[in-house]
Structure 1
């Protein structure tokens, strides 16, 4: 086929624009009261989004809140100048919130006193419906046929005053959430997944994430560190950097990158000159806080052996799956059987397998299942365990029988392979 016969690619979808022009920016008590009155008079759910200064600030606070409701239009709130947003919370009492990726925005909205009475998460709805990509821009283009500009997604939202192009970008994130919610909700009903979604949304609304233990272990490159003393140095440097970052409200990596922590922990210098001469030790705060880094390394060097961290954190969960075959071959068979069956079930239901059942709940249940092997009692025990870990009822109903079958099957000693005559 010649170039002349090759069909031209389809034109890109039109760029989404603000249908009502730039929404007002609410910065005063009078403007807040006026907005709350308008929102309370609106109908249906309210679309909400928040902008944080990730990568710039230590805190995850909201630096801008965008809202849109039918009959009201869009508003943007600068929360920095308000001691309380209680009037907004009261105006939205009993109103469903539409969020995209609620786990990202709810903590910062809760921090300013905003809590939803009901919730619809468009990202999670997309996952439950089996969409391969569930970013907001992708769903808007797929379902609504508009292209969403994302050129300001990584800017420093703590900047004041906020540039007009940034505000326009932010307003677009709630421009079509109402329409997107309607399409996804209808598809959830059509596929029989609306009750699953309701349970997931209720769980998100009330879920409180656990405080991460040993967060320093997530230092990038820590796997290259050898020896418990060096691990202790990573911990001391990480915690020192974290304290400085919190005091200055700056993201930790802007003070000292993870790579610098790792090289310093491996070299274990004992004074400022040798620390600053360590190849790879760099960053804005490398020299400025050099005395603090040296002190942190000194504390690691002075620890007794029994105070040094181990390579793997101690926890209350099961061992890593790769160790199951050696520690408990029967448990390893349970896990292999359940994983295979859950993968098939996920494909059948057009779901990501991690949404069928959280992997941690799977491992915990199969490592220490109920002792009974009477099928009915075992099913009740597995359901109780899964619910105790946090699995939603629809997940228990869907995945519970798979785990029961895996437990009963794995407990039967496999037939030995027949000997091959030579």
Structure 2
């Protein structure tokens, strides 16, 4: 494989993208910094086909990334391969408003192939390819220039191995007939709504301080204000005001700006500075949450009797056994909540009672709950048997 250590010129990048666009897939990874910013700062993009790999410097003077973004988010003929790509996808969504598609995440694929739940990239490469990775540069400052040889070697290794790993995992998925199992998970990962939300919706991601329309109206206004302040200054939202402090302000709003000094989490400067004045304006203008906006009460999960709780425990044991036998991560098959619902008598709208999950686990789970399957021990080993057989 040909390695381009670092691309810093637009014409070189455009030529690379033209070549990459002829391949069926490209492996993609990013390096970024976000400790001190609201928006993650993209510092490096690594990309590879089966023939070549490169690191691309988005911080280089005069670098135009438009052709690369077109390849990643517009070109539907080239599959984009990532590993645990949620944060990478967030970056591309921030830059373009879109998510790279079509998409394949090797971490999700690894769950279906028995490599473990949320297996790390290094562990997966070691297990699937027998190659140990040097992760020493993982926590480096990627925004500093120039990047040294060790940083670039580390960064490019991620996509070169990913380009080798993907065909192997794909062959295993085809051989086991599990490719279709991943459609739902890949679609969820590539959903743009996961990466974009309006400041006015920021309060929905917080722990709600009660159900008073007045309190929630203030929280909604405060959370939106904080989001706009953080975005405008490009600093983490917690640097403006922490969640707990917003909740306290919503529950017990100060009557005048000088009272802000009494709020835990705010410095003394808030009593007479501009940001404190803006906060007070938000509180003054906040309106109670309308009935239409009030959050729905969480649906009550069916209460588990003592017997049903025992059945739920047996279902968890069955899941552990079945996932081990099938070589599939238990988390990909069923959630604990679904097991409890099944144990409590629910039979509708459960993923484990349809599709491949039913074939791999749901049928036996239903038989266990309804008394057609039992656990027993034989010679000190646990085994299952069907009642009446």
| Of 369, 381, 401, the match for 2:363 | 401
**C-alpha offsets along residues 282-333 of structure 1, whole Å, 9 cap, x if unaligned?**
4998955111222334456x648x76997xx416x732x4x6248xx99989
State the 1:99 CA deviation: 0.8
Q: CA RMSD for the aligned pairs?
A: 4.7
Match of 2:132 in 1: 146
Measured at CA, do residues 368 and 195 of structure 1 come closer, stay the same or move farther in structure 2, by a change above 3 Å? same
Between structures 1 and 2, the one with greater strand share: 2
Structure 1: unaligned runs, 5 residues or longer = 1-18, 371-381, 411-422
1:216 aligned to 2:203?
yes
Q: How does 1:2-401 map to 2 (within 5 A)?
A: 23-28=5-10, 30-40=11-21, 45-59=25-39, 64-76=44-56, 78=58, 81-83=64-66, 85=68, 88-89=71-72, 94-109=77-92, 112=96, 115-117=100-102, 119-128=103-112, 129-131=114-116, 134-143=119-128, 144-149=130-135, 151-153=137-139, 155=141, 159=143, 162-165=145-148, 169-185=154-170, 188=173, 192=176, 194-195=178-179, 199=183, 203=187, 207-209=191-193, 215-216=202-203, 218-219=205-206, 222=207, 228=212, 233-265=218-250, 267-282=252-267, 287-299=273-285, 303=288, 313-314=295-296, 318-319=299-300, 321=301, 324-325=303-304, 338-339=315-316, 341-358=318-335, 369=346, 385-386=349-350, 393-401=355-363
Decide whether the 8 Å contact of 1:356 with 1:399 is kept in 2. Answer: yes
Q: Take 1:283 and 1:400, find their aligned partners in 2: how far apart are those partners?
A: 59
Measured at CA, do residues 91 and 68 of structure 1 come closer, stay the same or move farther in structure 2, by a change above 3 Å? farther
Q: Take 2:56 and 2:16, find their aligned partners in 1: how far apart are those partners?
A: 9
Match of 1:419 in 2: none
Structure 2: unaligned runs, 5 residues or longer = 373-389
State the 1:369 CA deviation: 4.8
Decide whether the 8 Å contact of 2:79 with 2:101 is kept in 1. Answer: yes
Secondary structure of the equivalent of 1:94?
A: coil
Q: TM-score, normalised by structure 2?
A: 0.69
Q: Take 1:366 and 1:283, find their aligned partners in 2: how far apart are those partners?
A: 54
Q: Take 1:91 and 1:294, find their aligned partners in 2: how far apart are those partners?
A: 44
**C-alpha offsets along residues 261-294 of structure 1, whole Å, 9 cap, x if unaligned?**
2444455322222213433324998955111222
Q: Take 2:154 and 2:355, find their aligned partners in 1: how far apart are those partners?
A: 39
Measured at CA, do residues 208 and 395 of structure 1 come closer, stay the same or move farther in structure 2, by a change above 3 Å? farther
State the 1:121 CA deviation: 2.0
